[in-house]
Amino acid sequence: MSSEEKEIPQNTQDLTVFVQNLLQQMQQRFQDMSDAIIQRIDDMGSRIDELEKSIGELMTQAGIEESTPALTSGEGGS
Q: Please state whether the predicted TM-score (pTM) of the whole model is above 0.75.
A: no
Per DSSP, the three-state class of 30 is: helix
- Distance CA(17)–CA(21), nearest Å, equals 6
**Residue-wise pLDDT tens digits, 18-38:** 999 999 999 999 999 999 999
Say yes or no to pLDDT of 76 above 70. no
Per DSSP, the three-state class of 64 is: coil
- Distance CA(27)–CA(20), nearest Å, equals 10
Say yes or no to pLDDT of 1 above 50. no
| DSSP 8-state class, residue 43 | H
- Distance CA(40)–CA(46), nearest Å, equals 10
pLDDT class of 63 with cuts at 50, 70, 90: confident
